[in-house]
Structure 1
């Protein structure tokens, strides 16, 4: 309940610091999650995918900042997003041969919903099937629960990745 009352990234970071100091991983995870959600809300983005990407970007930048010991922006990622757009930016991630440290860290802390791969699977109708398959494979490799897809239902196509597997 207290976590839902956090209104700024700094409040979230303060709680994360205290939780880490006290060894409370659950509170740390929830505060990190809240920080990412606030980032999506702060942008006042109407489009769901764009808002979710803002949350993924916040998670990515927060992990970079923790790694570097100072506030760090994902300048290359932001530039790619600005130049190529959301889909092109996301599509490159599952094609990478190696798993990123950020994906591993988010998976270990139960924050897989803040990965680009998760967004690709969730919005599978926006991406090539090979990209969706690669993202699904990476999520499964890291024991991240697959999202429900937001693709519109049709009689010819199964609704979820699980349905697609069951269908053949």
Structure 2
């Protein structure tokens, strides 16, 4: 079995999308969940064109994560066309606000929680960038995460 510590260090420093995709596929075949997860998270980190640390970068990390999960499950490229159209119309912040205030969680929220990635949910983004949302939106996001069993105090304060 390859030295996963060395592999994880390579992944953490990688900026090559194709290399990361290859590592994800190889780790999946070899059932190396830690390597697969690290490469997936790194890929999602480097895909957005927006500046790291911004709400826009965090938003697109979430979109790419969900699209990658759906693509892997369905065996064909899957894009969130309606979400992308909405963002084109109203922007990332309004989309996040609407997700947080919706009567029920999105499929993406549920899917990310199932995969132990609560930090990638739209609600976590709202909490991370609370200064860009009104108190009602932040409260709704926190309540949804807590209702789903997420300890919001353990969520990362920054995207990475």
| 1:6 to partner: Cα distance | 3.0
| 1:25 to partner: Cα distance | 1.8
1:22 aligns with 2:22: no
1:112 maps to 118
User: SS where residue 47 of structure 2 aligns?
Assistant: helix
Q: Distance in 2 between matches of 1:127 and 1:94?
A: 10
User: SS where residue 97 of structure 1 aligns?
Assistant: coil
User: SS where residue 116 of structure 2 aligns?
Assistant: coil
| 1:64 to partner: Cα distance | 2.3
1:146 maps to 155
When the two structures are aligned, how many residues end up with a matched partner? 147
1:33 aligns with 2:31: no
Q: Which moved more, 1:81-90 or 1:52-61?
A: 52-61
Q: Point out where structure 1 has 5 or more consecutive residues left out of the alignment.
A: 150-168
Q: In structure 2, which of residues 48, 51, 55 is the aligned counterpart of residue 45 of structure 1?
A: 51
1:82 maps to 88
Q: In structure 2, which of residues 64, 74, 80 is the aligned counterpart of residue 68 of structure 1?
A: 74
User: SS where residue 2 of structure 1 aligns?
Assistant: helix
The normalised TM-score by structure 1 is 0.74
- The verdict on how the C-alpha distance between 1:102 and 1:20 changes in structure 2, with shifts beyond 3 A counting, is farther
- The verdict on how the C-alpha distance between 1:99 and 1:67 changes in structure 2, with shifts beyond 3 A counting, is farther
| 1:139 to partner: Cα distance | 2.1
Q: Point out where structure 2 has 5 or more consecutive residues left out of the alignment.
A: 1-8
8 Å contact 1:29–1:109 — kept in the other structure? no
User: SS where residue 104 of structure 2 aligns?
Assistant: coil
CA deviation vs aligned residue, 1:93-123 (integer Å, no higher than 9, x gap): 1233333443233224332222211110111
| 1:147 to partner: Cα distance | 4.2
Q: Distance in 2 between matches of 1:130 and 1:29?
A: 33
8 Å contact 1:16–1:31 — kept in the other structure? yes
Of structures 1 and 2, the one scoring higher in RCO (CA 8 A, sep 6+) is: 2
